[in-house]
Chain A
């Protein structure tokens, strides 16, 4: 597939007019006549009328009696165009999170499903709460009995957090760098650790190469942290989301990275 020729004229035709997109948005919800569309869109009669003619000429809508209907295939086009728009919004809304950060470990599929993170909030440290990001994820982890996490570095509190999850009967799957494997594992209470390993309550996937992503998946929420382009982890901001979609997104990313690690 030659991508370069594929932003075709149909995409351009729809994208170049906000009025046309607005009309399609309304018609995708319910068919209407010109006067109804003028009322719903609050666009002038002449603009609605001329754009309806253009949309009809390009076979995106059809007029039956005096009502306009969006064509089924245009409805699909519009849904995908709207999806693209939402991905652009998400990039812009969390600009400080993405800009100058390393996203190499986000899989292409996870980026294509970026809008699954649409209900996220950016948690940032402040001068009066410099541990806000760590404390946010710590709280999430301690409240969860099923945890999957990618810890790319050793935080002094990680072993105790893991210990606490296990002590409460929880399960944890971890992807961590080989270099911190012992430091994490042997700082967990010996009895709890041995018992958890025996019962398969803790699974650790050590990685030889550096990890460039921080990810926690708890029962109620997920959080994502990135490294800056200079190679240091950005401790000052994380993206947190509680939606089911974000949970699935994070699970898929975790499993993709796990698969890459194991193979």
Chain B
């Protein structure tokens, strides 16, 4: 394969992305008429650009079959609508990443499947909670508060933590928490079994449904029908209990539920 050929292939592979994303005028025009068709006057006022610039951009988008003109109003074609919706998804994805930038940049995300990274926009409304020097337990306390009111919980628990186990057993003894689905690794299972109190209170509790996976997971995920909480490991393999993402909208719950399902079936993926 020659260098020229490779470049031609590359060029074709990324050509459309480059064409769309590198022109502010084109992207702004697509976004401006995403919800409603607009005439030149509307667009000139909204984009604060001269008519000639706007018309030039519209003409280019018309040529590419993303925009059409109907009775002096410009609107997206079906292709334009599909494209712009996916462009908004890209913007939302980057927005969601940047909003919790410290969280994503500092942790090992290797156990989060690519499918979920592609749809990280679903986490755009989550809150990033971190502990501070004046309150080292801030993240854990927020988490504790959250799960204390849950009726049903699903957890991927990748660590042996007495604090968490004691809290879960206390909740299971109470009336509020009706069921707990738990995914743990063989290693954690083995450690829990060696402690009678935890063994009886968790593993032999009829409210608990256990899934044991071979892999030592690097995701601490908790979901209920009202919230999701996610914390991760540092890249040096140590668990980070000082940073947590908490979400309570439907989209975040969908994302967390998909992650839970994928990790639940991780033994079958081998």
Contact = CB atoms under 8 A, between A and B. Distances in A.
A83 B32 contact: no
A42 B79 contact: no
A161 B34 CA distance: 40
A108 to B, nearest CB: 6
Interface in B1-26: 1-3, 6-7, 10-11, 13-18, 20-22, 24
Nearest to B32: A4
Contacts of A102: 78
B197 interface: no
A112 B1 contact: no
Contact of A12 (B10, B22, B101, B107): B22
A73 B91 contact: no
Nearest to A79: B117
Given A71-B105, A113-B119, A43 B6 contact: yes
B89 A77 contact: no
Given A11-B94, A112-B89, A4 B28 contact: yes
B20 A88 contact: yes
B79 A43 contact: no
B214 interface: no
B229 interface: no
A18 B13 contact: yes
Contacts of A71: 105
Given A4-B28, A98-B79, A98-B82, A80 B118 contact: yes
A180 B176 CA distance: 48
B78 A84 contact: no
A88 B117 contact: no
A83 to B, nearest CB: 4
Overall SS of chain A's interface? helix
A103 B13 CA distance: 26
Nearest to B6: A42
Contact of B3 (A43, A79, A99, A229): A43
A10 B98 CA distance: 11
A16 B78 contact: no
Contact of B88 (A3, A18, A85, A98): A3
Contacts of B1: 42
A6 to B, nearest CB: 4
A192 to B, nearest CB: 36
Given A3-B31, A18-B18, A73-B101, A99 B85 contact: no
Nearest to A229: B78
A138 interface: no
Contacts of A64: none
B257 to A, nearest CB: 13
B243 to A, nearest CB: 14
B212 interface: no
Nearest to B5: A42
Interface string B217-240: 000000000000000000100000
A261 interface: no
Contacts of A108: 85
B27 interface: yes
Contact of A43 (B7, B109, B114): B7
A85 B32 contact: no
A42 B4 CA distance: 9
A250 to B, nearest CB: 17
Nearest to A100: B78
Contact of B109 (A4, A18, A22, A72): A72
B53 interface: no
Given A19-B10, A41-B6, A12 B88 contact: no
A3 B120 CA distance: 17
Contact of B81 (A76, A95, A103): A103
Interface of A: 1, 3-4, 6-8, 10-12, 15-16, 18-19, 21-22, 41-44, 71-73, 76-77, 79-81, 83-85, 87-89, 91-92, 95, 98-103, 108, 111-115, 229
Interface of B: 1-3, 6-7, 10-11, 13-18, 20-22, 24, 27-28, 31-32, 34, 65, 77-79, 81-83, 85-95, 97, 101, 104-105, 107, 109, 114, 117-121, 124, 235
29 contacts: A3-B91, A4-B32, A6-B95, A7-B21, A7-B87, A11-B21, A11-B94, A12-B22, A15-B21, A18-B7, A18-B10, A18-B13, A21-B10, A21-B17, A42-B6, A72-B104, A76-B109, A81-B17, A84-B86, A85-B17, A88-B83, A88-B86, A95-B65, A95-B79, A99-B79, A102-B78, A111-B82, A112-B88, A115-B118
Give the 9 A-B residue pairs with the shortest CB-CB distance, closest first.
A15-B21, A87-B86, A80-B93, A6-B91, A42-B6, A111-B85, A84-B90, A83-B118, A88-B16
Given A18-B7, A80-B118, 8 more contacts: A21-B10, A72-B104, A73-B105, A76-B104, A76-B117, A83-B90, A87-B83, A112-B89
